[in-house]
Structure formats: C-alpha cells, structure tokens
Structure 1
Amino acid sequence: MEFIKKIVLNEVIRTLVHSLRDVEACLRVEQEFQQKITWRISPRPFQIDRNTYAEIESLGALLLEFYRCIQELYFGSASGRLPRWIGEYLELGKPEQVIEYGRMRRFRRDVPLIIRPDILLTEDGLAITELDSVPGGFGLTAELGRAYTLLGYDVIGGPDGIVQGFAQGIRGMVEEEPVAAIVVSEESSDYREEMEWLAKALREQGLMCFAVAPQELVFQEDGLYIRAAGEIMRITVLYRFFELFDLKNIPKIDLIMYAVRKRLVRVTPPLKSYLEEKLNFALFHHPSLAEWWEERLGEGFAKLRAVIPQTWVVDNRPLPPHAVIPGLEVNGRPVTDFSQVAQATQSGREFVLKVSGFSALAWGSRGVAVGQDLSQADWNRRVAEALESFPTNPYILQEFRKARQVETAYYDSGNGTVREMRGRVRLCPYFFVHGPGVSLGGILATICPADKKLIHGMVDAVMVPTMVDGS
C-alpha cells in the first residue's frame, strides 16, 4: 500500500511541476512579447508530424507556379490565345487604372514576395481554403518564433526565418543594397505594430527598412523618400501593405503609382488585382481548363486538386436549357442556375460563400457565410446578395472542408492556470520568393474553440508558431 501511495504522490508532484512550468512559459511569453497580445497564450508551439511538414513545405514551389499560371491565363485571355471569359471574370468591378497597371509588360513576370495559403487540417488531409498574397501576420509570426525559441523549442523557420526570408526577397528585387519601406494604409492599421516590429528586426540584421504610413512618403523627381534616423533616404523597394480596392483612400497614391510606373521604385506585392482573386481556385477547377493546368503543373496538378476544395464563380447569367454547372449538385440534383443553391437543405449546405476579391469584405472573415451555420432565410438572402453582386464584386461558392479537432492549452489569466482546450486549427505557412525559388520562413497556427466554424484571429483563439513533432 505504501508503495502505491508513493507512486500516486510522485505522479501528483510530476503533474504539479509540469503545470508550473507551463504557467512559467506563458508568463515569459507575456512579459517579453513586444507586440500587444490579443489572443490566448499557449505554453508550447503547435506540433505537426514530419509527413505533414514535408507536404506543407513542398507546397511553396507549387503555389509559386500556380501564380505564374494565373498570369499566363490572364495574359493569354487578353491576347485571345485563351478564352476571353477568363480575363472578363478577373476584371469584373476593377477600375481602368488597376487593369492598366496589372497589364504593364514591364511588370509581367513580377509575383508576390510572400505566398501564404490558409491550410486546414482535416480528417482527409490538408485543405487550402484561400491563398493570400497581401497577408498580415508575418510580423507576428516572426516574434512568436523568437519567443518560443527562447523557451527552448525548435520552431519551423527558427528564430529568424521570417526576418531572413523577407530580407532575402527584398534584396533580390534590386541590384544595390536596398532601402525598403513597408507602407501601411489606414485601412490596414491594425497591422501597423507588427510591421514596425518587423522593420526594426530587419534593421538589426542590416537591412534598412521602415514601416510608414503613405502620407509619410516624400516625392522628389528621382523617386520616393522617407525621413528616418535623422536623415532623408530614397526608397528603392516599397512593400505594399494596402489593398488595391482601397487606392482612392491612400494619401499620395498618384505619386506612388507614378514612381512605380517610371521604375523609380520597385513594389511588391505587384499591382496585379487578378492575383488576389479567390475565383482563381474556380479557374483551377474549371473542367475546360483541366488539360491546360495539367500540362503546366505536371504531377503537381493532382496534388493541388486534392488540397484545393471545389470552387465555382457565382455567375448570375442564365445557362442554355441543356447545360449544368459542372460538379455542382444540390439535394442530389445537378444545378442549372446558381439561384438553386438557395434551395439546399441545411444538412446539404456544405458550402461557403465568399467575396472573391477587390472589396473590404474580401479579407479576414468578412464577407464569409458558412451554409450550415445559417437559417434558411439567411442563406437565401446571402445567395441573393452574391448573385446581385456579380457584375461588380463577384462571389465564389466553395466546398466546405471541416477542420478536425486538435488539442492545445492556454494560460487562463483569471485564475493563473494553464487549461486544456479542444479546437480546430488553421495553419498559415509564410513562403518567401527569392530568385527562381521559395523558402519557408515559419508557420502560424491559429486554434479556435471547436464550436467555431470560422477559424481566424480572435480573443478566444490560441496563436502560436509551429514545430515538427519530436524535433
């Protein structure tokens, strides 16, 4: 009996010590983190197995090729070598200025510096629900990587993967040592703090970089300048942290666009609205383009088909009487008109409606409707809104992929303990483009409580870097 008591006591002591270490880890992150914390702190990174890591890492080069294919589709459509409807879809609702800059030959090969897919872990594997070329969160992921490295964890990308990847990409854009400005608009001001942190980290590693508002830019005949560190410096690379739909609200945008046109400054992400449309996933799944995609992606075609959910452009134009929308069924019947999607029963509404792009509703969780979460009346209304919006802000309909449940833990500041939580995770890997290749700088894991259908940054979410299990 005494022997059993000792075993139980030792187990209690081990559990208590482990719990105290977890609390200490969370408090260290809380005390040392420079950016404002608006999420739940976990004592450890999120872990993925080696096979999942290898699969995610391999996506970088494939998604870069995906972007290049979208460019080829767009210009092929404009020249008449490919169907006109491709370009028509991608230009819906765009002002002439945006279309003009996107078509400029001098920028034709430019692709975004950062590629960030939103990846869900499902029971059937990975699912890429979106692809973001103007992402937030990489400054946050960079500091999280450092914080958890200091706790002794071997996070993916290491303590400086994001910083080094960004610096390498910026340096690859110009021949001389660059001076970079991360230009953050008022509409994107929630991200200003993390961009300032990143710019400081870049300066500490030898790259002259500053986070500024558009109105802080100074235009002179030979380019754009900023006042910083007691002097005025000419910018050679401008990182665009503002959306193209918001151009009319950006101070000094005409001067910025002039400098870009005259090649007085390099800009990334490039001014290409067609690379920022969610409907590109619908182009990828369109049956009449399947052979074209397979020729260009080779073995990668099947790999992307497995991880990108089926997607359709919500087009309000009538089909011929004998036609159906490829691959789309409602209540077991082929769909001949998108208005029929509104008739789906709640259990049959395994769809997500999203604004495709070029809208304030197109980023974050804005403008997203999960069919099974809505009443019949609300679903009818959202489908009607999507159909009505088609000529100016097209929507996509996407197959809903449900993230599987995972385990995590977080610090409860109310009682000073670490609590377990079941949730669903979104992984955001940050790939950096430099030269012909890409590198993975880090992966941000956002774990929301299991009852949440939409996974995004929120006060109830755990946000941590990612590590490989056993590393």
Structure 2
Amino acid sequence: MTPQERCLYVDGLTPKGGLYTDAQRPIHPDANSSWQVGPDPWRLPKPVLKHLEDLGHHLLAFYKAYNLLYNHSRRGIQPEWVAAYLDQGKPESVVALGRMNRTKQHLPLVIRPDLIPTREGMIATELDSVPGGIGFTASLGQRYGSLGEPIVGGRDGMVEGFDAALRFFAGVDDPVIGVVISEESASWRPEMAWVAERLIERGLEAYVVAPKEVVFSEDGLYVQGEDGLRRIDVVYRFFEMFDLKNIPKMELILYAAKKNLVKVTPPLKSYLEEKMMMALYQHPILSDFWAQQLSQETRDFLDATFPKTWIVDPAPLPPHATIHGLQVRDRVFSDWRQLGSLGQKDRQMVLKPSGFSELAWGSRGVVIGHDESEQDWQHSIEAALRLYDNNPHILQVFHNGSTFPVQHYDFETGQMKMFKGRVRLQPYYFVVDDIPVLSGVQATICPSDKKLLHGMVDAVVLPGGPAPESA
C-alpha cells in the first residue's frame, strides 16, 4: 500500500467519531477519526524501547516507596508534614479510604507516565494511575498491527496486559469485572466499552456501567448480565477521587469495598493521584528515606526523569530561608510572588493543580509561564496561593520537547503532508504479579507551536512500534 492508502485503511477501521476522548469532532466529513492519521506506527529505536522497559520497573519501585512514605508519615516514622501535604483540602472521609488496613499495600494496576522526549532526555511531566486511553491505544495497536506492522507489546498487547492484571488482582477463577465510569469521565466510556468487548472475547466477563447501574446487596455488588444479576469480583474504577460526592450509589460501593465484599482498583487512595509526589521525591529532608528505599540505579533514573517540582505552599519563610533548588540566573527566591517579576524568557515554568480537583486532569488548570503576560502570570501565582487550602498547586520547570517530522493524510487536499512536531509518549504498564509489563505506547505528535501536548484535531496520534534494527 502507498502511505495514502495506509492512512485511509486505518481511518476506515476507525469507528465513526473514533474512540478518542480529548477531541470528539471529526477532522473532515469524510474522516472517521478525530485526529490526524499517519501511515505508520511511531518508530521507537531500540535504546528508547529499553529505556521504556526499564522505566516501568523504576516507577513501580517509586510507587511502593511513595506509598510507604505516606503510611510512615501518618504514623510519625517520617515527617508528619508529608501526609499533611498529601491530605490537604480533602474531606476526612476521603482520607480515611486511603488508610484502610486491608488495602495498605495496594498500588495501581496500570501505570502511565506522560513522557516528553527532550534534548536532556525523557522527561515525565506526571504519572497517571487512573489513565484514559487504554482502549484507544489498544485499538490503534490492532489497526496498525493489521497492516503487518510490529507494535510495542504486540498487536493485542494492551488487551492482553489489562486482562492479565485484572485476573491476577481478582485472585479467583473466572472473575466478573465491573468497569464503573462516572458522569465526569463519561467521554471515556466508548473506549472502555471497546476494551470490555475485547476482554469478553478472551473469556473475561466484563461490564461497563454507570454507578447508578450497580446493584447493591448485603453480600456484594451486582451488575445486570444476559442471564440475570452477576456478582462483581473487581470494580475497575474510572473516576477520580475528587468526584466521589457527585457519584450516585457511591456510598454503597464504598460500603462494599470497606466490608471486603468487592475489590476496587485503582485503590481508593487520593494521595496516589497527587502530582506533588515528584516534589516530595526531590525534597532534601526526605533524601535519606529515598536512599533507604530505592536503589541507586532507580534514583539515578528518577533524577533524570522527573522535572524539578515544588509544592506552592503559601506559608511564609523566615528571613534567612529560600525555596530550595529554585534559582533563575543565579537569583534565589523566598516568596512565590517574586516569580511574578521574571521576564518572559525566564518564566520557563508550569503551574498546575496537584490533584483532587476537576482541573487536575486533561491539561485543565495548566498555566505555562512564558505563554502568559506578566500580569496574567502574577494573577496565576496569586490564584495558586489563594487556592492552597482546598487545592494545592505545584510548580515545575518547563522542558521544551524535541521536534520530529511526521507524515499524515490531509483529508482536505487528498494528499500526504508532513510537519515537524513535538511528541508526547504515553507508555502503558500493566502490573501482573508485581511485574510491570510494557503493553503499548501511544505517541501524540502536536504542531511545534503548541506548548501543551495533548490529543487535538491537529495532532497525529499513533501506536508505538519498534524501529527497524538499522534505524
């Protein structure tokens, strides 16, 4: 096939409107896709694939240590301000869920970092333990795999990985899985329904339901199947912890979880959804803890992967103190407001909610310092400080992604086009028996003038594939 024929073939396999969630409108009346379609998977050289494989193991080690840090902090073994930061602005009922003894060791089954390839290396802007894109990435792998292209994790790797992780977590033969999707997350329902269909084809009984469709009984949670009610063994929650108060029947679902009538994953731990985890990793007071819990290799890996991150805490510093590690052209800072006077070129910074907020996902609430006027930047800093009590923010150093050429089919002209864009890589690791399995990679290539790299109608979205040995 020609590149044009390959693009049209892939688009033809795409359900009308796609399974994409960030942009629902098609790019053209003749297109099924709501993104730009390229002819080939995104080629990942062997060293990059090795890096991604290794990254999964280091991130799982980090999650384990981070989970331990929170538990040690609330018990006074580690500084109590750690848990105070992570619980900031959350109702006591939400905090209590994260402290249940029976789930103390539970970690997410799915780990997905957002990675930006830069000249300095691969930078993770955040880690997502309740990620969208599982079904979309899986479907991309199948479509491009049907062209005979090798896909990271294999053509069906995403579905196989999800299947294996859910079965292992369930711990019973022939488990029943309920994928519970809130109204806030409803735009992801098409892709999760697609995944559920693939799981069913593999013999795993899976249902995608809204919370109101879950049936509660004293002995557990049920969902309506073809032959009557089916008891759910595992709830895969597709909702953020901040949304609990808005979800119908959530009290009943939580009651079942507390009584061990059903297993829930990702675990009901709001601190696992906080972006400030990177700031805590870099905090000098905690360096001994991380050195005890993580190998030197893992620490070196994380040091190179996590951007410099700070918790934007409005508490005043004493006159002799400065904000650790925050320095611009040899200038140090003792008050976040002092950043407001920086020139545009010196504002290579990102301000965003840490978590537990409707603004903390999908690039909502993100402010790019050098994209703002000085006045708007100052207002953004003030807003972050003002919102701290209920919605702490973080500050990160902005890393400009490297540019790469990418081809796509232009439905307007009927021709192939090329542009240079910045790439966001999203590897998906499914944790099976304590091993993170790299099961797929989604590559989003955005026009180079875009600072926020996310799904958009201008972006080319591709599955990751290994580059030929000679590449």
Post-superposition offset of 1:287: 1.1
Match of residue 78 from structure 1: 74
> Structure 1 residue 141 and structure 2 residue 137: aligned?
yes
1:371 and 1:175 map into 2 onto residues whose CA distance is 47
Q: Which stretches of structure 1, 4 residues or more, deviate above 2 A after TM superposition?
A: 34-37, 228-231
2:65 is matched with which residue: 62, 69, 87?
69
- Does the 8 A contact of 1:330 with 1:340 survive in 2? no
CA RMSD of aligned residues (A): 1.0
Distance 1:352 1:332 in 2: 20
Aligned to 1:213: 210
* 1:355 maps to 2:336: no
Question: Partner of 1:7 in structure 2?
Answer: none
TM-score of the two chains, using structure 1 as the length reference: 0.94
Rg comparison, structure with higher value: 1
Aligned to 1:288: 285
Does 2:90 align with 1:109? no
| Partners of 1:120 and 1:425 within 8 A in 2 | yes
TM-aligned CA deviation for residue 435 of structure 1 = 1.4
Equivalent residues in 2 for 1:242-391, closer than 5 Å: 242-298=239-295, 299-391=297-389
CA deviation map 1:10-51 (0-9, x unaligned): xxxxxxxxxx71111111111112334211111111112111
**TM-score, normalised with respect to structure 2:** 0.94
Judge conservation of contact 2:58–2:301 (CA < 8 Å) in 1.
no
The aligned amino acid for 2:219 is: D
Aligned-residue offset at 1:175: 2.7
Q: Which residue of 2 aligns with 1:44?
A: 40
Which residue of structure 1 lines up, in the alignment, with residue 30 of structure 2? none
Tell me if structure 2 keeps the 8 A contact 1:77–1:85. Answer: yes
Aligned counterpart in structure 2 of residue 457 of structure 1, from 455, 458, 462: 455
- Among residues 95, 102, 122, which one is paired with 1:99 in the alignment? 95
Match for residue 184 of structure 1 among 172, 181, 185: 181
The alpha-carbon deviation at position 230 of structure 1 amounts to: 3.8
* Letter of the 2:367 counterpart: A
CA distance in 1, matches of 2:104, 2:381: 36
**Which residue does 2:12 correspond to in 1?**
31
Pair 1:21-2:2 in alignment: yes
Q: Deviations over 1:393-438 (max 9, x none)?
A: 0000001111000111111111211111110000000000111211
2:190 is the alignment partner of 1:193: yes
Letter of the aligned partner of 2:128 in structure 1? Answer: D
Higher helix share: 1
Structure 2: where are the runs of 5+ without partners? 20-32
CA distance in 2, matches of 1:412, 1:319: 55
Task: Please tell me the residue identity of whatever aligns with 1:50.
Answer: K
2:115 to 96, 102, 119: 119
Distance 1:263 1:231 in 2: 23
Whole-Å Cα distance in 2 between the matches of residues 418 and 263 of structure 1? Answer: 55
Q: Does structure 2 retain, via aligned residues, the 8 Å contact 1:330–1:343?
A: no
- Which of 162, 167, 188 does residue 166 from structure 1 map onto? 162
Amino acid of the residue matched to residue 45 of structure 1? Answer: P
Rounded to whole Å, the distance in 1 between the matches of 2:225 and 2:459 is: 36
Paired residues for 1:384-423 under 5 Å: 384-423=382-421
The answer to whether the aligner puts 1:60 opposite 2:56 as a matched pair is yes
SS at match of 2:2: helix
